[in-house]
Structure 1
Amino acid sequence: MADATNLEPQDAAAAEDDRSDLESLSGKASHSSLDSLELERLELAHDLWLLTWRGVLCISPKRGSAKRVLDLGTGTGVWAMDFADEQIGTTVIGVDLSPT
């Protein structure tokens, strides 16, 4: 979804409608418009998990042999990118409602 501040008025209204549709799907506000504070929080959470697991990104027994990995709710995508860098030859796809 494009940034509503850079759109023509009719496009901005459509973007706002899309955001409302996403929010109504879950019955609560979604993270369809992440602000910089929320992005920082997600990055910090990733760093804390890495500290907790001593740098291990995935504890699955299939970690070394996985050819494809799907990260649902990928957020900033930092885990998916780190995992793809670590697991050469593995296709990693990150999916999220937010376009970040």
Structure 2
Amino acid sequence: MGLAYRLTNVTFESLTYNGQPFGMRHMLRSEPSFIGRVGSSYLQLQVATGLSLVPNYSNAKGYADTRYVRDIKDSSWYTSVGLVFYPHRLPKHSKDK
């Protein structure tokens, strides 16, 4: 189990809504998360959950953003599930019998 933090600068080369160009080009996102793994030494199940948010943004502050900007900037929870495979940790079989 552990904690992770990711700070990402998202760059949009082109962003549209209903086919119309959207003026946002950059967005900074902060993503703290909790990660857990269970399993054997060579195969593990990993589950992570966290929050993706834009620092210092809250639509409760009365920003004059459009609904579409708020939809992009609002915080959201995410969960991921994956398998971690370490082939070098597979049990070694002896060729001697």
TM-score by length of 1: 0.23
TM-score by length of 2: 0.24
